[in-house]
Amino acid sequence: MELLLFLGKEVVFVSPSMIPEKFQFLDFHNFFQVYEENKDYPCDIFFLLDAHSKERMGKLSSVLDKQNCKTIAVDHHPLTETFADVNVIDD
């Protein structure tokens, strides 16, 4: 995220639910948003963390269905499908 900000890019962090209190310190830029079904999330690049399939994205998968953006999945689970444009898997 820091590199994207340094390059002058707009960054939005969207999650299906609130960040647990013990991890709220990670949002020191205050970019966090809870996903809203009726809201539009335009994107050029969609980074997906800790989910190796669209099914694990839950309701956030609708963002990819509505947008034509490049996807990068970073995860530690074995790859079961290749839905992202780039998959970084460390099993």
Q: What is the pLDDT along the chain (91 residues), one digit of tens a residue?
A: 789 899 999 999 898 889 899 988 988 898 899 999 889 888 888 888 887 677 878 888 888 878 788 988 888 877 667 778 888 888 6
Q: Distance between terminal CA atoms of the chain?
A: 23
Nearest to 75 by CA among 60, 64, 86, 66: 86
Residue type at 42 in one-letter notation: P
Strand arrangement of the beta sheet that strand 70-75 belongs to:
45-49, 70-75, 86-89
